[in-house]
């Protein structure tokens, strides 16, 4: 019974819509008919006016035995300006009215309505615009949405627009995976064997996108006399092909403001064009004093999926993890799990540059 009632309601609504469409079509025909009638009356009135005016002047001219021609009767202003304007208006009105009725009669008007709607709903109009005009339109829309009233707010929107353009310019990480194995050395140092796997995809396939910067990390130098290396790169691969230092990639070390801290930046010597997907794998080790408990992983590009896993000896270390991001609900975007000797964090949403996770490593006390 309920289904029958629902079906009846649907049919009633459908009939109402069809009646409305038919009434709209009828109203359009009526309006077009009135417009057509107006054009016809305009032309008939024009001819009637000329005939009556000429006849009246000719009848008056009989009294003085003078028979002027039509060209003499009608003034030059009327013949050269007023008459053509009125005549053309009448013709245009008739043509438009007849064209509208024919288009509606054969369904062309409905076709053009549907086509115009498709241009806007399917974003065809946006695809027809140039890239420069799209950027101008985007800036105007941002300013229109947030309605900046001061110069400072306008500058803020321009800054946001520039940052967004830089983020969306070249590529993003479809996967950003980091696997860390922690080991306690001499009860004084923590060694991390790190493998980072990046799956890189282009954002805009209509232009050439290049990948150049491999990695940028900071580390602290160990005290003098220590036999360990604070940082050591072991291997770099792109799409399964091993890269060679000085031939395929190079690095630069700079000093930080913090004492004994360094920043090392790895970069490809010849930037590699991104065609669909690049798979980058880097393996390296870091050794830090036991007091340096914090280890963080953050993305420098848009990232769709991020995974960080830290394995450790449960008898030596305790590991905790927390996520950091710019928007509210920091921990809701990451799923953090703690097992006996593994701590893992997985993202379940997009990450902005600068967001990521931080691990805290503590020496286990008996």
Name beta bridge partners: 39. none
Q: What is the pTM (predicted TM-score) of this model?
A: 0.62
Same domain, residue pair 151 and 255 = no
**Per-residue pLDDT tens digits for 42-88:** 666 666 555 555 555 555 555 455 445 444 445 555 555 666 776 67
Q: In this predicted model, which residue has the larger pLDDT, 218 or 3?
A: 218
Domain that holds residue 200: 171-363
203 with 232, same domain: the answer is yes
**Torsion of the alpha carbons at 69, 74, 77 and 81, rounded to the nearest 10:** -100
Decide if pLDDT at 210 tops 70.
yes
Give the Cα separation of 188 and 291 in Å (integer). Answer: 8
Beta carbons within 8 Å of 206's beta carbon, 6+ residues apart: none
How high does pLDDT run on average in the chain? 76
9 is a domain residue: no
Where would I find the beta strands (DSSP E) of the chain? 171-185, 189-202, 210-220, 231-238, 241-242, 249-255, 261-273, 277-289, 294-298, 306-311, 317-324, 334-338, 342-347, 356-363
Whether 302 and 172 have beta carbons less than 8 Å apart is answered as yes
Does 118 share its domain with 267? no
- Pair type for strands 189-202 and 249-255: unpaired
| Number of domains forming the structure of the chain | 3
Is a pLDDT exceeding 80 seen at residue 200? yes
Q: How many Å apart are CA 158 and CA 155, to the nearest integer?
A: 5
Whole-number pLDDT of residue 16: 45
Q: Please write the tens of the pLDDT for every residue from 267-277.
A: 999 999 888 88
Q: Is residue 10 assigned to a domain?
A: no
Is residue 313 within 8 Å of residue 275, measured between CB atoms? no
């Amino acid at each position: 019974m309920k289904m029958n009632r629902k079906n009846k309601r649907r049919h009633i609504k459908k009939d109402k819509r069809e009646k409305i469409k038919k009434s709209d079509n009828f109203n359009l025909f009526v309006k077009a008919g009135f417009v057509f009638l107006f054009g016809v009356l305009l032309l008939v009135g024009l001819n009637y006016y000329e005939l009556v005016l000429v006849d009246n002047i000719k009848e008056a001219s009989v009294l003085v035995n003078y028979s002027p021609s039509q060209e003499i009767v009608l003034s030059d202003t009327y013949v050269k300006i007023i008459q053509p304007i009125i005549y053309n208006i009448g013709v245009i009105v008739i043509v438009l009215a007849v064209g509208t009725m024919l288009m509606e009669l054969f369904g062309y008007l409905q076709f053009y309505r549907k086509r115009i709607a498709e241009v806007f709903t399917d974003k065809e109009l946006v695809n027809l615009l140039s890239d420069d005009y799209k950027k101008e339109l985007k800036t105007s829309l941002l300013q229109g949405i947030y309605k900046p009233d001061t110069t400072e707010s306008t500058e803020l929107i321009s800054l946001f627009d520039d940052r967004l353009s830089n983020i969306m310019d070249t590529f993003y990480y479809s996967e950003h995976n980091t696997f860390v194995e922690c080991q306690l050395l001499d009860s004084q140092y923590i060694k991390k064997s790190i493998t980072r796997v990046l799956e890189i995809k282009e954002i805009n396939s209509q232009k050439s996108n290049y990948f150049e910067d491999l990695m940028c990390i900071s580390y602290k130098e160990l005290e003098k006399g220590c036999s360990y290396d604070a940082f050591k790169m072991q291997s770099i691969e792109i799409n399964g092909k091993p890269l060679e230092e000085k031939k395929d990639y190079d690095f630069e070390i700079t000093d930080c403001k913090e004492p004994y801290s360094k920043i090392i930046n790895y970069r490809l010597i010849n930037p590699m064009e991104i065609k669909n997907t690049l798979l980058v794998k880097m393996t390296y080790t870091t050794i830090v004093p036991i007091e340096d408990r914090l280890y963080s992983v953050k993305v420098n590009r848009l990232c769709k999926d991020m995974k960080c896993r830290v394995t450790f000896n449960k008898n030596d270390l305790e590991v905790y993890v927390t996520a950091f991001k710019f928007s509210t609900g920091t921990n809701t975007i990451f799923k953090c799990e703690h097992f006996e000797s593994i701590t893992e964090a997985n993202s379940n949403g997009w990450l902005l540059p600068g967001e990521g996770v931080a691990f805290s490593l503590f020496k286990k006390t008996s």
